[in-house]
Amino acid sequence: MLLRDPERIAELFILLHKTQSELYQDKELNEACNNALLLENEERAIIASGRYSIKDVLYGRFYWYTKFLCRYEAIYGKNGSMEQAQFKIIEAMDYAGIVDSNALEAIERELEVAE
């Protein structure tokens, strides 16, 4: 999962001429949110660059969004609608035929998703 690497994400911000916004006071929360939004909003451009596949983008998006969600919940508490957004990423993976339950569980274990 190449797009978990902060250096690769930083390269994408430069390649796509995008800047990170300060959406939250918390640095980790802000980074995860910006990275997830870049992968969501620029999916087509990232794939068109020829550097990454739809699988790379969706798994990167799941990773960064899950990281954002874990940090958000630690600071502000649970938010059901935000959890639904995570399921939409999985639905996009399913539509693309690339769902790997073991990989998703490994990401959640790594990020210590609270059940």
How does pLDDT run across 19-73, given as a tens digit for each residue? 999 999 999 999 999 999 999 999 999 999 999 999 999 999 999 999 999 999 9
Predicted local confidence at residue 73, as pLDDT: 92
Nearest to 36 by CA among 77, 7, 67: 67
Nearest to 33 by CA among 45, 17, 44, 22: 22
**d(C-alpha 105, C-alpha 95), whole Å:** 19
Q: Which residue has the tokens 């990989």?
A: 103
Q: Which residue has the tokens 């911000």?
A: 13
Every domain of the chain and the residues it spans: 2-110
Q: What letter represents residue 76's amino acid?
A: Y
Q: Specify whether the CB–CB gap between 32 and 67 falls below 8 A.
A: yes
Q: How many degrees, rounded to 5, is the angle at CA 21 between CA 47 and CA 18?
A: 35
Question: Which is higher by pLDDT, 12 or 113?
Answer: 12
Predicted local confidence at residue 40, as pLDDT: 97
